[in-house]
Amino acid sequence: MGATMARRLAVDHDVAGWDVRAIAVPGVSTAGDAAALLRDRDVVIACLPSPVETSSVVEEPAFLEAFRSGDAVFVDASTSDPASFQALAARIGGVQARMIDGPILGRPDRVGAWTIPLGGAAPAVARARPVLERLAARVEHVGPLGSGHAIKLLNNLMFGAINVITAEAIGACSYVGVDPRRFVELVTGSEAATVSPLFRDLAPRMLGSEDEILFSTALLAKDAALARGMCEAAGVPVRLAPHVATTAAEAVVAGFGDEDSASLVRLYLADVSDDRSSTT
């Protein structure tokens, strides 16, 4: 996602970037470190794996010194949780007024058509908006710091739930004597209300038609855990969220963390294989 944003912005902006993996992006100059970005940029966008990495970058002494002495706006486009981001802002003090959470609703190939919900102070949002509008069709200020992250986590919780139930339905086919490919073919071609665009995308992937990683199981597990924690801390009477988070975590433990989230189906297929082997 970070590279996608950089390429898009480089068309008409002077863009510099930094990544611990030393990734090169055509048209984007490479900064010596993350702190260097703050010294000569108006807006810095972070796209990191989890709240742990975001805090590590922001609280690194050189980065924090540059942030406090400069005037740049910091946009966290990662998928994080409101509490972690708010706690980070509280720890770094006065510069939190220049922090925004702006996670992405959309896939990399839909850059330009994304929706970005923003949480933070209005002046910082106004400064970042022209840059973010090059990335998204909708850039919406949705509330105070953390509000954007809350919306993204709830969205990804739904994504996780659809992943799990689609895997469960396809996995159930072998138990009940139905050809899973026939099930997917008939349901996808029907006018049933269950046929969402996500089902049309996920179901063939779960049948093994593609190996491309669009969203890893490890990221799904991370997001589901963050969403569950956010909801439970707020007193939401969650029922499905714990199951989604547990199932995604089990898939990571099973060794599917670096695979696409469609690999969740293998939890159910493995169960079938085990059952059959024990009865032969």
The per-residue pLDDT for range 11-53, each reduced to its tens digit, is: 999 999 998 887 788 889 999 899 999 988 899 999 999 999 9
What's the CATH number of domain 151-279, 3.30.360.10, 1.10.1040.10, 4.10.80.40, 3.20.20.100? 1.10.1040.10
The answer, yes or no, to whether residue 204 has pLDDT greater than 70, is yes
76, 85, 223, 257 from 146: Cα distances, Å: 10, 6, 15, 27
Q: Which of 24, 28, 99 is nearest to 63 (CA)?
A: 99
Secondary structure string (H, E, C) spanning 11-70:
CCCCCEECCCCCCCCCCCEECCCHHHHHHHCCEEEECCCCHHHHHHHHCCHHHHHHHHHC
Q: How confident is the model at residue 269 (pLDDT cuts 50, 70, 90)?
A: confident
Can you tell me the distance from the alpha carbon of 155 to that of 178, in angstroms, rounded to the nearest whole number?
31
Can you tell me the distance from the alpha carbon of 203 to that of 169, in angstroms, rounded to the nearest whole number?
10
Query: Looking at the chain, how many residues does it have?
Result: 280
Instruction: Identify the helix (H) or strand (E) that includes residue 115.
Output: strand 114-119
Q: How confident is the model at residue 273 (pLDDT cuts 50, 70, 90)?
A: very low
Can you tell me the distance from the alpha carbon of 200 to that of 205, in angstroms, rounded to the nearest whole number?
9
Can you tell me the distance from the alpha carbon of 275 to that of 172, in angstroms, rounded to the nearest whole number?
13
Specify the pLDDT at position 10: 94
CATH 1.10.1040.10 residue ranges for the chain: 151-279
Those residues with Cβ within 8 angstroms of residue 17's Cβ, 6 or more apart along the chain or in another chain: 2, 6, 23, 25, 28, 29, 30, 31, 37
Overall average pLDDT of the 216-242 stretch: 97
The answer, yes or no, to whether residue 271 has pLDDT greater than 60, is no
Domain 2-143 has CATH 3.40.50.720: yes
The answer, yes or no, to whether residue 278 has pLDDT greater than 60, is no
The answer, yes or no, to whether residue 276 has pLDDT greater than 70, is no
Specify the pLDDT at position 277: 41
The answer, yes or no, to whether residue 280 has pLDDT greater than 90, is no
CATH 3.40.50.720 residue ranges for the chain: 2-143
The answer to whether the CB of 129 falls within 8 A of the CB of 114 is: no
Can you tell me the distance from the alpha carbon of 280 to that of 277, in angstroms, rounded to the nearest whole number?
6
pLDDT more than 90, % of the chain: 85
Specify the pLDDT at position 40: 82
Q: What confidence tens digit (pLDDT) does each residue in 78-136 have?
A: 999 999 999 999 999 989 999 999 999 999 999 999 999 999 999 999 999 999 999 99
Instruction: Please tell me the pTM assigned to this model.
Output: 0.91
